[in-house]
């Protein structure tokens, strides 16, 4: 105790020593205006982008009857419930439609749906085309609108890029939030539908909340680079982690739905080990957390027919290094044709090259 007290005394005495008086400085408004000029230009850009993008965002209101038990008794009561979502006005294959998430409109009839534009025009939905595997919905409408979304090249999106998220969170129409792209190629995305995500997503810290699903993610050129789909949250609201489907994938799937009413997905016929460890990799001469280990093969599938075996580790798929089992699922989903795909594999420590020809199957 005797050793502690002097040290404590020194700390307290130095902590309360008054700092030397600082000289007062006078800042003029002219100086503030000069310093703020670069920020004013950025602010004007953000305002212009929001103004340009607003007309292509719609508010989707859904009315449905649900059985509820408010008193926690054996009796249930039917109540009319209103839910909210967002959508994007798009022109695809010569047709103007609304794009949104499947989980926003799943099980809904057009008659129970109201679509409201930024100018308070009510649109008339006539048909809803859904796809479960990619969580996308296309809503066909009667009206012709003066503006459709301009889509940007989502392959060029970079981490750190400024973005604007638009939508109707908690039913608050025409809301805009600013953020950045926190990550690209994000695979561990919360499951919003009945199927896990098949494609990589953008991660953003722009505020996205319930009701924002299906809304656009814009770059600062006013181009849609993604569609907000999910959030990672413990509270049920925004915690700075949201996910958007890249525009390239959104447009590819929507185009198929509009032209054929269905989506074709590639099938290769292999399953992977989700707990493939670093120790197992090292035994094969792989010193990094890369590669996906084949755990199962479908009978008569393309993978088995090409000579792949259980235990093989796929190191590269179609020229891209494979990080893990989730990564290769995304890479397979990007295939659009039944053309041969090169694979580099590790079989018992030996590197081999094998070509696999996928087949296209009907997606759910």
- Residues catalogued as catalytic: 103, 135, 213
Residue listed under structure tokens 């953003």:
204
Distance, CA of 358 to CA of 2 (rounded, Å): 78
Cβ pair 182, 208 in contact under 8 A: no
Alpha-carbon distance of 43 to 295, in angstroms, equals: 53
Alpha-carbon torsion angle 181, 151, 117, 190, nearest 10: -40
Interstrand relation of 264-267 and 320-321 (parallel, antiparallel or unpaired): unpaired
* Collapsed DSSP state (helix, strand, coil) of residue 223: coil
- What single string gives the DSSP state of each residue in 158-199? -TT-EEEEEE-GGG-TTEEEEEEEEEEEE--PPP-SSS---S
Q: Distance between CA atoms of 270 and 290, rounded to whole angstroms?
A: 18
Identify any residues that bridge with 127 across adjacent strands, giving them in sequence order: 140
Neighbours of 61 (CB within 10 A): 19
Grouping H, G, I as helix, E, B as strand and the rest as coil, residue 105 is helix
Distance of alpha carbon 330 from alpha carbon 66, whole angstroms = 36
């Amino acid at each position: 105790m005797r050793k502690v007290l002097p040290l404590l005394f020194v700390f307290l005495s130095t902590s309360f020593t008054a700092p030397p008086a600082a000289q007062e400085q006078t800042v003029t408004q002219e100086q503030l205006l000069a310093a703020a000029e670069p920020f004013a230009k950025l602010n004007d850009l953000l305002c212009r982008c929001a103004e340009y993008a607003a007309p292509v965002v719609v508010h989707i209101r859904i009315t449905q009857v649900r059985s509820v038990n408010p008193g926690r008794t054996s009796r249930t009561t039917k109540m009319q419930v209103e839910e909210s979502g967002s959508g994007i006005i798009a022109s695809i294959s010569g047709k103007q439609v609304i794009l949104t998430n499947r989980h926003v409109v799943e099980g809904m009839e057009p008659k129970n749906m109201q679509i409201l534009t930024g100018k308070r025009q009510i649109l008339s939905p006539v048909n809803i085309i859904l796809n479960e595997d990619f969580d996308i919905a296309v809503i066909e409408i009667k009206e012709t609108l003066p503006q459709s979304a301009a889509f940007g090249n989502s392959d060029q999106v970079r981490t750190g890029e400024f973005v604007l998220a638009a939508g109707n969170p908690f039913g608050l129409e025409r809301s805009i939030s600013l953020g950045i792209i926190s990550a690209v190629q994000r695979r561990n995305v919360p499951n919003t539908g009945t199927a896990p995500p098949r494609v990589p997503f953008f991660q953003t810290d722009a505020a996205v909340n319930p009701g924002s699903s299906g809304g656009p993610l814009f770059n600062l050129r006013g181009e849609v680079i993604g569609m907000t789909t999910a959030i990672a949250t413990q509270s049920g609201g925004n915690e700075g982690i949201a996910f958007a489907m890249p525009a390239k994938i959104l447009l590819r799937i929507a185009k198929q739905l509009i032209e054929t009413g269905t989506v074709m997905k590639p099938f290769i016929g292999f399953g992977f080990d989700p707990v493939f460890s670093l120790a197992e990799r090292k035994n094969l001469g792989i010193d990094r957390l890369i590669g996906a280990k084949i755990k199962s093969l479908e009978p008569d599938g393309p993978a088995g027919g090409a000579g792949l075996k259980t235990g093989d580790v796929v190191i590269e798929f179609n020229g891209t290094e494979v990080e893990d089992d989730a990564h290769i699922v995304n890479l397979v989903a990007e295939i659009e044709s039944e053309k041969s795909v090169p694979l580099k594999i590790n079989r018992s420590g030996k590197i081999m090259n094998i070509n696999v020809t996928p087949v296209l199957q009907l997606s759910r």
